Amino acid sequence: MGTSKRLAPYYDMQAQHQAILAAAKRGPLQSLTDRELALREQPLTVYPHALQRRVRAWVRFGPESIRVEAKIVRSTPLAAGIEFRAQAHTFRCWVWGNAVELEDD
């Protein structure tokens, strides 16, 4: 029995959600610290919904790293504030800018 090419993106999304939720059970989502962000010294850009870009980013739940599909909701010159979902859960964290790759539109 073959698989539907039409449903492939849906199955990919489901697999990613399961991987995220499994990683979340192994430890809390880590985010950059206030000291690392240096928001008092660095400019902060907050993107309105229409300007939020789709990205792939490396995040860490406890000791486990996982690459997720996310969107950039804010940034500094060195870091990106991202948001991603897994089923009914929304996760938000700050990651270093070089941990983020823009997705092709």
63 has a pLDDT exceeding 60: yes
What was the pLDDT predicted at 3? 61
26-61 residue pLDDT tens:
999 999 999 999 999 999 999 999 999 999 999 999
Residue 48 CA to residue 68 CA, distance in Å, equals: 21
Q: Determine the pLDDT at residue 7.
A: 80
Look at the block and give the residue holding tokens 């950059």: 32
The DSSP output letter for 78 is S
CA distance 76 to 79: 5
pLDDT for 73 equals 98
Where do the domains of the chain lie?
Answer: 8-102
User: Structure pTM?
Assistant: 0.85
Average pLDDT over residues 67-89: 95
